[in-house]
Amino acid sequence: MAKTRPSATEIGNTVKEVVVTIKTKMDNLPPVTTECCIYRVPEKLRRANAEAYTPQVISIGPFHCGKKELQSTEEIKLRYLTTFLRRISSKADLPACTRMISESEERIRQSYQEKLTQGNSELVEVILVDAAFLVELFIRNYNWNHDPGHRDQNDEILSKQWMSNAVFHDLLLLENQVPFFVLENLYNLTPLRTTVAFFKLSYEYFKDVLHGHELAGTRVQMRHLVDYVRALQLPSFPRGVTSKHGEKFELTRSAKELQEAGVKFKCGEGTSSLLDVDFKDGTLVMRRVVVHEWTEAYFRNMIAYEQCHHDNKYISSYAILMDGLIDTPEDIDILTSCGIVKNELGSVDHVACLFNNLYKETMRDASEFLYSNQCQSLNTYSRTQWNRWKAAWYRWRVILHRDYFSNPWSGISVVVAVVLLVLTLFQTGCSFLDIYTGDARKLFRRRKY
């Protein structure tokens, strides 16, 4: 039976419903502004390791607030807020802080990629409690390090190593952030601001993440803590990438292959950036990278932030460079022996696996890759005829050392075998010559037929 064609009235009603639905969705879209800086991690990155982007013990900001597994730390945040309010009591109180956050609510909302579901009062509460907690945590951490005699041994975070590490991990997450200007505004209410700048306070907390260098000043506007920690690693003099747009970048050969070809590895000295990498006169100079329990969370969230927000893919480029240098645990051993990698994870396999799975599907164009020139120079150097010969000689030395000189007894046995072979050949030669003693011409006499 043929379907009846919808009437003009039915079509008109359908059109009205669709138009209303689409307009409602368009009206509810979050505004696109220059304030946007806190993002949800793209799903293709999250699939690689969801735990690296997910808070373990504490929620900061609106994205993860209310999660049941993070509720145990809400009381800690409120106790920190209580101490913070006592600290600023001569200058402001809870109503004044609440009013200050409320006045910035629209700017706060614009800082987040997605439209927040929290109402006005709920969002202001979340931001105030979390921001005050962070400021108080940084102050306590600074005092903990600089005034050991007055450490609070009952501090629920700093006195427990596992808790301190877990909170540190959670503050490196892109989705677990509040705008930086809120932290600065609250900190300016404290007496400490006259002696210690907030940048100094933040550096004291994050300085060990990858042993970053302290920022010289506050000329660059920080968006949030992830943006700040990323800035700690940026090169002092950013370098332009000379590769043409559209070209596919070339990875360097592994550390073992480069070493076989004569490349030497050296750990750079001083307080320069982790991202400073130089190759000159056959020596690759890199700064030390410390690999510990939060290194993966750091790299993954910095890479996610660069993919969402920054044109200059500094951290992503470094991850790609390390992936090229590291193929096997043996490459880690080479980089560790020269001081470039400091392994605090324990397992060499874990370190290799970490760098081999960081940057998947995050960069394709050589114009974005900071180390295109260094990789090209390394590969050109290792492919020259002289360095190929050195690579072959290096492999033979490794085989001889591994198979024949790995211990004194095997080495002695090889030497004895070689001596016996030489003596045998010498004896054979002597016997051969004895047959023709007195008439050496017999050796070369042409036989006639």
- Domain positions in the chain are 43-191, 255-383
**Average pLDDT by consecutive 10-residue portion of the chain (449 residues)?**
75 84 77 84 91 96 95 96 96 96 96 94 98 97 89 92 95 97 96 90 88 60 93 70 57 89 88 84 91 91 94 91 92 94 87 85 70 89 65 52 58 68 75 61 54
pTM: 0.80
Q: For residue 55, what pLDDT is reported?
A: 97
- What pLDDT does residue 359 have? 75
pLDDT value, residue 358: 85
pLDDT at 238: 54
What is the rounded CA–CA span in Å between residue 295 and residue 302? 11
